Chain A
Amino acid sequence: MATTTLNPAAPAYRSALYEWLTTTDHKKIGIMYLINSIIFFLAGGILALIVRLQLVIPKDATTIGGLVSPEFYNQAFTMHASFMLFLFIIPILAGFGNYAVPLQIGAPDMAFPRINALSFWLLPLGGALMASGFLATGGAAASGWTEYPPLSGAKFNGPGTDLWIMGLTLIGTSSILGAINFLVTIFKMRAPGMTLFRMPIMVWTILVTSVLVLMATPVLTSALIMLFIDRNYGGHFFDPANGGNAILYQNVFWFYSHPAVYIMILPAMGIVSEVLPVFSRKPLFGYKAFVFATVAIGALGFSVWAHHMFTTGAVFLPFFSLMTFLIAVPTGVKMFNWIATLWRGKLTFSTPLVFATGFLTMFLIGGLNGAFSAAVPVDFAIHDTYWVVAHLHYVLFGGSVFGVFAGIYYWFPKMTGRMLNETLGKLQFLIMFIGFNMTFFPMHQLGLAGMPRRIADYSASAGWTDLNIVATIGGFTIAASILPFLWNVLVSLRSGRIAGDDPWEGNTLEWATSSPPPPYNFDHLPEIRSERPVFDARHGQAAAH
Chain B
Amino acid sequence: MTADATALTTHGPALETHGSGGMGNPVLGMLLFITSEVMFFAGLFAAYFSIRAGYTEVINSVSTHVWPPTQFQHLLNPFTLTTESGALNLILPATLILLSSSVTCQLGLMAIRRNDRRGFVRAFAVTLVLGVSFLLLQAFDYSVLMHEGLTMGATTFGTTYFTLTGFHGAHVFGGALMLSVVVYRGMAGQFSAKHHDMVEAVSWYWHFVDVVWLLLFSILYLL
Contact = CB atoms under 8 A, between A and B. Distances in A.
B11 A524 contact: yes
B149 interface: no
Interface residues of A, number: 61
Nearest to A252: B43
B14 A191 contact: yes
A526 interface: yes
A112 B25 contact: yes
A456 to B, nearest CB: 33
Nearest to A215: B39
B17 A189 contact: yes
B36 A248 contact: no
Interface string A95-107: 0000000000011
B9 interface: yes
Nearest to B20: A188
A190 B16 CA distance: 9
A248 to B, nearest CB: 5
Contacts of A194: 18
A243 B18 contact: no
B161 to A, nearest CB: 11
Interface in A205-249: 214-219, 221-223, 225-226, 229-230, 233-237, 242-245, 248
B214 interface: no
A219 B41 CA distance: 8
A235 B163 contact: yes
B46 interface: yes
Interface string B127-166: 0000000000000000000000001110110011001000
A514 interface: yes
Given A236-B155, A245-B51, A513 B10 contact: no
A305 B139 CA distance: 38
A234 B8 CA distance: 65
B116 interface: no
A111 B25 contact: yes
Leading 5 A-B pairs by shortest Cβ distance: A222-B43, A234-B153, A524-B9, A188-B19, A218-B40
Interface in B1-50: 1-2, 4-6, 8-14, 16-20, 22, 25, 28-29, 32-33, 35-37, 39-44, 46-47, 50
Contacts of B8: 512, 526, 534, 537-538
B54 interface: yes
A165 to B, nearest CB: 14
Contacts of B28: 183-184, 187-188
Contact of A190 (B10, B18, B151): B18
A54 B42 CA distance: 41
Chain B contact patch, size range? 35 or more
A255 B167 CA distance: 20
B55 interface: yes
Nearest to B166: A229
B5 A501 contact: yes
B5 A180 contact: no
B9 A180 contact: no
Contacts of B2: 500-501, 514
B29 A180 contact: yes
A229 to B, nearest CB: 6
A318 interface: no
Contacts of A107: 17
A121 interface: no
A187 B27 CA distance: 13
A522 B10 CA distance: 12
A229 B161 CA distance: 12
A526 B10 contact: yes
Contacts of B19: 187-190
A233 B158 CA distance: 11
Contact of B1 (A221, A245, A513, A525): A513
Nearest to B54: A245
Given A190-B19, A218-B39, A525 B44 contact: no
Nearest to B27: A184
A527 interface: yes
B36 A526 contact: no
26 contacts: A176-B36, A179-B36, A180-B29, A180-B33, A183-B28, A184-B29, A188-B19, A193-B18, A195-B18, A215-B36, A218-B37, A218-B39, A222-B47, A234-B159, A235-B159, A245-B54, A248-B47, A252-B43, A252-B47, A502-B4, A522-B13, A523-B13, A526-B8, A527-B10, A527-B11, A537-B9
A192 interface: yes
Contact of B156 (A112, A188, A193, A237): A237
Interface string B171-202: 00000000000000000000000000000000
A482 B209 CA distance: 49
Q: Point out which of B11, B32, B33, B37 has the most chain A C-beta atoms below 10 A from its C-beta.
A: B32
Contact of A229 (B11, B37, B163): B163
Nearest to A244: B156
A526 B11 contact: yes
Given A190-B18, A244-B51, A501-B1, A525 B11 contact: yes
Interface string A524-544: 111100000010011000000
Contacts of B159: 229-230, 234-237, 244
